[in-house]
Chains A and B, each alone.
Chain A
Amino acid sequence: MSDSPLAVEQHGPEHLHHFVDAEQQRDAASLGMWLFLATEIMFFGGMFLAYLVYRSWYYNEFAAGSRSLDIWLGTINTAVLICSSLTVALGVRAAQMGQRKLLVILLLLTIVFGFAFLGIKGVEWYQKYEEHHIPGRTFNADDLVKDYPQIHIDQRPEQIYFSLYFAMTGLHALHMIIGVGIFVFLTYHAWKGRYTPKYYTPVEIGGLYWHFVDIVWIYLFPLLYLIDRKPLR
């Protein structure tokens, strides 16, 4: 009475026994990650919907809030993330080609970019704290009202803009942190030589996740920072 798995061709320790072969395992992992990213789209989607509704209702407040964000830091962060997606894509290729050292370097670079993004984000949040733009008891948007007297800004819906700003960038940053964690894991295993041209699925699906987090930022940046940057008279 056998409970052992079926006869299977020569395989490495990464082959999981409930799969028939490596191809099935790879296909399953890939489909799984794409489905997971679909759930993430729905997750962020709820916040984007709230943003859409409130921006259409409180355009002036949203525009004023948007102008209070540091466009240079935002742009640098966008560039940082795009570069990090490049290192990720090159890393997947390095794994495909069996270039272990290059793979490790690229993964490390990605982590560095990730930390850079988070660091700059932290600086921006601190700026908001200093300017009293954190919603709640300490909120005060008098500076926005003062700077733009010809546009009548209601401070209460102004809080909604900043609530959404913190919720959206906060959740995005959380996903970045998780992404950095995943890449630390990948770097460790890459360094140990676990990824070969025959088996580099974790790098590929980790890369998919990272690209997704990048794409979310590509949407967040214009929606939050670039609402109305026309020079004011």
Chain B
Amino acid sequence: MATVAVTAERENYLNKEYGIRSWLLTTDHKRIALLYLASITFFFFIGGFFALLIRLELLTPAGDLVQADTYNKLFSMHGQVMIFFFLIPSIPAVLGNFLVPLMIGAKDLAFPRINLLSWYLYIIAGVIYLHCIVTGGVDTGWTFYTPFSTAFSNTRVIEAGISIFIAGFSSILTGLNFVVTIHRMRAPGMTWSRLPLFIWAHYATSIIQLLGTPVLAITLLLVVFERAFNLGIFDPTRGGDPLLFQHLFWFYSHPAVYIMILPAMAVESEVVACFTRKRIFGYNFVAMSSIAIAVFGFLVWAHHMFVAGISLYSALIFSILSYLVAVPSAIKVFNWTATMYKGSISFTTPMLYAFGFIGLFTMGGLTGLFLAALGIDVHVHDTYFVIAHFHYIMVGGAVMGYLGGLHFWWPKISGRMYPEGWGRLAALLVFAGFNLTFFPQFILGYMGMPRRYWQYPPEFQVLNVLSTAGSTILAVGYVLPMVYFLWSMRYGKIASDNPWGAAGLEWQTSSPPPTFNFDETPVVTWEAYNYEEIPAPAEVPVER
């Protein structure tokens, strides 16, 4: 692999055209990925700002920073912004958009204009949501439960509902694009069994986006209609059933969490393979686990409703199915760990995030076993135990996967290296800050502190203070990469085509790639992760 420094004079997708029109009207999947990167980073900081205010309020038992109604809006909008405007798009819309065509040897996604439409739908949804925030916000919780959301809330439920409805279509179209691309546009010789596991996981994610999101869309639409036109579908005084809403809502929202974690697992496979310099152990099993998670993920939604009033027998069925869905995730963790056996391991920033991912995802996943146990869930449902559980997976898992992936592919995306020392520092800060923020919440939950509480009994204070302290460290860990990534675009070391010596078609083209990705369509004659054929270059440190 050539380590000749390549100057930025070579034409690539970034310098091909300048000017705002060339960005806002682009159909290049790589530019669209960067458009998404900017937008979701913006919303990440909005959602993060709400989180900071929540943690500040919770420093003291009394509600003394903001009013109760304001607090209710804060946690509602934190959830909605983080889920719909950050997590759901994050890896697929940034890394997936950028890498899927490259990894399979295609020139672009199947529908480049629909890809741009996806981004515009996201932006329109985002603008509507921002308007919702500044004109009063929404206080229904991210879950919009009826009849509170349809008949009792005095906040901008219709606007938030419409905004998320539109964002949902952005997600559906991204999924549609990926599925068609992966089916129809693989380069010659790129058989299904030669696909990187990143592609398998994104394929599974896209199936969920396609089939699940429309159910959220119709559910939110019905809530909007009910409020706007005084329909009675969820109104108990007119014979409506509040549980119907919950079933419809969770039918999407449970698979949604797999939309959020599968792409992070996708990144995990690529990073672990590269920095152990080995093919992932049990490739077939990892690939099939992605599909299994997508399929089983659709069968467990009512485990969010064990105390909601469903029948005893339903609860038994959903509990057992929830244990089934845990198995493929466990298989993946074991396989990544086994990959390290007899590997050649380097501790670059992406690999640090990968280690963190395995640790935190394992903890989060294990606490899922607690929640799937009916007798335990009765006690900890709607408490901080649940909050800790899903943050371990969505932040400890998905966000670390996202950051690890951003670092790993940054040279390919920008043509520059980020500063490795700062990268490692930020990774450690995120890991430490995260654990301090969320581990105490497991204890709080079992002790009985309910979620969505603006004020709380004094015996919960010490743990809340620890949690808030952790969140400040976490915040620093998040700000650092933003700063040094921006810095690197101007001052970072110029990256070679393949600074990590990684396998995968994306590393066979220049950093950054040309607009049409490859000078010549690759013809694939090798299996994925052919590390025995790829020497490790200097950037991958040798650990003495």
Contacts and interface: CB of A to CB of B under 8 A. Distances in A.
Interface residues of A, number: 45
A27 B183 CA distance: 10
Nearest to B216: A46
A136 B229 contact: yes
Contact of A18 (B108, B176, B183, B233): B108
Nearest to A36: B176
Contacts, number: 129
A171 B219 CA distance: 13
A28 B238 contact: no
Contacts of B486: none
A46 B521 contact: no
Contact of B238 (A17, A35, A57, A160): A160
A45 interface: yes
Contacts of B16: 3
B248 A49 contact: yes
B184 A24 contact: yes
Decide if the interface of chain A is mainly helix, strand, loop or mixed: helix
A135 interface: yes
A116 to B, nearest CB: 26
Interface string A190-202: 0000000000000
Given A6-B521, A35-B210, A156-B239, A44 B218 contact: yes
A39 B107 contact: no
A43 B230 contact: no
B112 interface: yes
B238 A3 contact: no
Given A24-B184, A46-B222, A53 B244 contact: yes
29 contacts: A1-B11, A1-B514, A3-B16, A3-B516, A5-B107, A17-B107, A18-B108, A20-B185, A32-B176, A35-B176, A35-B179, A39-B176, A39-B214, A42-B211, A43-B215, A43-B217, A43-B218, A45-B218, A46-B215, A53-B244, A54-B241, A58-B239, A156-B237, A159-B232, A159-B238, A163-B226, A163-B231, A166-B231, A167-B233
Interface of B: 10-11, 16, 106-112, 172, 176, 179-181, 183-185, 210-215, 217-219, 221-222, 225-226, 229-233, 237-241, 244, 247-248, 514-516, 519-521
B11 A160 contact: no
B458 to A, nearest CB: 44
Contacts of B211: 38-39, 42
A168 to B, nearest CB: 10
B239 A57 contact: yes
Contacts of B238: 156-157, 159-160
Contacts of A46: 214-215, 218-219, 222, 248
B210 A39 contact: yes
A218 interface: no
State the 9 A-B residue pairs at the shortest beta-carbon distance, nearest first: A157-B239, A46-B218, A136-B230, A163-B231, A43-B214, A18-B108, A42-B214, A156-B238, A18-B107
Interface in A36-82: 36, 38-40, 42-47, 49-50, 53-54, 57-58
Interface of A: 1-6, 17-20, 24, 27-28, 31-32, 35-36, 38-40, 42-47, 49-50, 53-54, 57-58, 135-137, 154, 156-157, 159-160, 163-164, 166-167, 171
Nearest to B239: A157
A31 B248 contact: no
A40 B214 CA distance: 7
Contacts of A3: 11, 16, 514-516
A24 B185 contact: yes
Which one of B180, B181, B237, B520 has the highest number of Cβ atoms from chain A below 10 Å of its Cβ? B180
Given A53-B241, A136-B231, A2 B519 contact: yes
A6 B218 CA distance: 43
A2 B515 CA distance: 10
A50 B248 contact: yes
Given A18-B106, A43-B214, A57-B241, 10 more contacts: A18-B516, A24-B185, A31-B180, A38-B210, A54-B239, A136-B231, A154-B239, A159-B231, A163-B233, A167-B231
B516 to A, nearest CB: 6
